[in-house]
Structure formats: structure tokens, C-alpha cells
Amino acid sequence: MTIENASLLSPQMKKSAEQYYKACEVIPGGVTANIKYIAPHPIIMERGSGSKLYDVDGNEYIDYLLCYGALILGHGHTAVFEAISKQMKEAGTTIFGTPHQLETVMAEKLIELYPGIEMVRYTNSGLEATLLAIRTAMAYTGKPKLAKFEGHYHGGYDQVLISVNPDINQAGEAHNPYAVPESKGVPDYYVENTIVLPFNDLEATEQILRTHKDELAAVILEPIQGGFIPAEPEFMKGLRRITKELGIILIFDEVKTGFRLSLGGAQKMYGVTPDITALGKVLGGGFPVGAIGGRREMMMISAPDGGRDILTAGAVSRDEREVLFHSGTYNGHPTVLAAGLATIGTLEEANVMDALFDRTQLLRSELEALYRNYGVAMQTVGKGSIFNIVLTDAPIKNYRDMGKANMQLRKEIDYELLRLGVYIKPLNRYSMSVVHSEEDIARTVAAHESALKCV
């Protein structure tokens, strides 16, 4: 059965297909986010528990998508459930609409863990976090343009929906990529005001940054592209040196990497401190969340008084000061922060992160050995508790290198894995949780072997 011609992923997924086609009548494309779509139809889930998902047909899956990495404690972790139940019971409401204590508690925790964070502002998603980070950099520097790296994703809005998965035939030279819009509806303004950089190519990146230094407010990057292609240490150090010299704000988008490479994210692992950090995913313990943190003088421009001391300066009319506008009814939602603090607290327990990394490495090593035994060119690429399976022996350092991989074979294996009870969206990265067991790993490796025999 070919993927393109299949009317069902499997006869065992009949209800998923039926529910999906019903959804298509009232939801465009049947999904509420394009990334949730899988051809010929997504699998409709009914419940989760620990490392497992269960669909509407009653099929069980070992879950390695984990809501794109957000559920580092797995599904329904006791610590999270108890924290949100306690918070709502004691507060007597789901939300105050006013400041509350957990905002400060979480901010203090992030300042403690992340070298680049001195003050914190909350948002409701990683997308909003990167948007606010960019606005902050532009307000602070007064410059109009942004530089981002080819292949890096920072959210689905106009300003960064550039050169995420560009057609190489339209994307220019590897050392000097063109800005290519990723979607219809992206205004030319953002294409013209976004400078695209080549990831892990320090020499070319430096040349581009020096050319545009007077108009660039910030450089934003995923320290681990797509959650699995690591920046080379010397590249990271060099980028920090160059941006500091040129007066360009360096933004780390740690939405994927926050708490997954270390409790202090990629910046702690690399020993490189950005000016602004964007966080999301794991931070919310399974709830929508985002946050930015950065240097005090930079963050203070979003204060209602424009950075003045509100206790002594008195009232200041809006036209007498410049303030970066940032608001949101649900920012710092108490239930979300309770879930996030419970998640962080669990990760801080003795040996929890070490055990997570050990099990991740065990799965990677066993998969690499299996594919090697079957004579299939394959490597696992990643850091910490996230990685991807790339079907090539060639080095993978950036977006263009992924073109060397056998994507069709990977897709066929992934579809077979779905039928065998291993859930990963085809071609996506693997995210591990603290509740994935050695039994899960053994079953996963066995499923890969069965898949290799079938494709």
C-alpha cells in the first residue's frame, strides 16, 4: 500500500478516518494546525497515559512526538495533575486577571536556571515569545531589520515565516541564502527586511552581518535547528562575539531546547549567553505558554513606566515616554505556571535528567546498531533528550544537508511504525520523556526492525 493512494492508514484506524472526514466539514482541512495533518488522514487520539497514546479505535502507541516535545514528563504525570488541582482549589478560580504570586516564583526560577535571563515577561505560546523578543530588540536598538537562519522555525507569523523550508532552486547560494516566503499572505515588507543566514557557516554569516550591521536589530536562531541539528560550539561562540561587536541583539529561540538539553537550556550547555531568550513547550507542563527573558536594561522598556521607577517617578503620560507595548489577558496564567513549576521541580530531582539522557542515548545507540545490521545508511542526530533519524552517512550541519537524506524511505518506515504502535509524525524528531521505559525502548527497536523488513 503506497502512502499517496491509501484511503486509510490501516483498517484498524477506521474511526480515525471517519472522524477526520467529519471534521473536514466544519474545520478547514480537518485540522486546527497544519502540522497536525498526516496524509491520508491524521490519527484521532482519545486519551494518553505515561508514555502512551490511545486512539479512537483503541490502538495503543508509544508516543515520541509528546506534543512536539512539550510533555517531558509524559501524559498525565501525577506531579502536574496535583499542582493544577491544588492551584485551582486554593485560588477558587481558573484565573485572576491580575498579578499573582506564581508569576514571581516562576520568574525567579528562570533567572536561577538560565544565564541570559535577568527579568521575565510571559506570553501564551512560543510563537508569541519570539515575536516579543524581536519587538524588544527592535525597540531597544531602533533598527528595522531581522536576521534569521535558513531552516529555522520561530512561529507561524509573517516576520519569521521566511526560509523555513525553502525550495533550494529559489533559495540562492548556500553561503548567501535568499529570503523566501514560506506561505501565501506574507507581505513583501518582511521578505525585504529579513536577512537570511547560513547555519553553521561562521565565515559567511560574519560577512553578511557586517554588511548589514547598521540596519540589523537582532539575530534570532534555534541553537539546535529543528530541535535536532546542533550548532557547532565554535559557531555559537563566534556568533556571540560578532553580534556583540556589531551591536546586534542575539536572541536564542529555546522553545524546543529549553529544559531538554539541560535545565538551563542550550545556553547553559554551550556556555554562550544570549541577550534575549524565548521559551515555551516544556515550560508549561502541557499547557499553552511562552516567556522571554533577558538583560534588565533591555527588558525594562516593556515596563508600564517605560523603565522609570514607578514608585518615585509619578504618573507619566503616554506621549512623554516611549514604551514597548506588551499585553495579553492570559499571560502568566496561574494554572499554567503551576503546571510548569511542577514540571521543573520534577526535573530538578536527583538523577532525573541524567536518567532521561541515558535512556535517550540507549534508544539512539540501539537504533543505529539495528540499521547498520540491515545495511541502511542512518545516523541519529540531536542533543539531550531530542534527536532525529536521518537516513544518510553524510554530515548534517544545516537545512541543505538534509537534502542528502533518503526522505522517502524514512517516510515509509514512519508510516509502518504507526501501524506497529510507535507514534511519531512522519519525518519528525523524537522527543523522550522521563517515563519512557527500557521496555518501551525494546518495543520501539523491535518495531523498527519489523518496519525495515516491510519497506
| b/e 314-333 (16+ beta carbons within 10 angstroms → b) | eeeeeeeeeebebeeeebbb
Are residues 199 and 148 in contact, defined by beta-carbon separation less than 8 angstroms? no
Other Cβ atoms closer than 10 A to 154: 27
d(CA 84, CA 343): 11
Query: Which of these, 53, 61, 56, 58, lies nearest to 41 by C-alpha position?
Result: 56
d(CA 110, CA 309): 23
d(CA 445, CA 62): 12
Instruction: Indicate the SS3 state at residue 258.
Output: coil
Of 253, 275, 401, 440, catalytic:
253
Q: Which residues contact 262 (CB under 8 A, 6 or more apart)?
A: 268, 269, 353, 384
d(CA 389, CA 430): 8
Of 109, 281, 383, 397, catalytic:
281
d(CA 433, CA 75): 9
Residue 188 designated active-site: no
Query: Which of these, 325, 300, 331, lies nearest to 313 by C-alpha position?
Result: 300
Are residues 197 and 219 in contact, defined by beta-carbon separation less than 8 angstroms? yes
Stated length of the chain: 455
Of 20, 61, 64, 153, catalytic:
153
The C-alpha cell that represents 412 in the structure block: 515509509
Starting at the edge strand that comes first in sequence, how are the strands of the sheet with 45-49 ordered?
A: 45-49, 52-55, 60-63, 422-423
d(CA 269, CA 261): 7
H runs (alpha helix) in 172-232: 188-192, 202-211
Are residues 275 and 251 in contact, defined by beta-carbon separation less than 8 angstroms? yes
d(CA 167, CA 161): 14
Residue 383 designated active-site: no
Query: Which of these, 112, 116, 108, 115, lies nearest to 133 by C-alpha position?
Result: 116
Residue 14 designated active-site: no
Pairs from 17-23 (Cβ < 8 Å, separation ≥ 24): 17/41, 19/44, 19/56, 20/44
Helix axes 438-454, 352-373, angle to 10 degrees: 20
Task: Give the active site residues.
Answer: 153, 253, 281
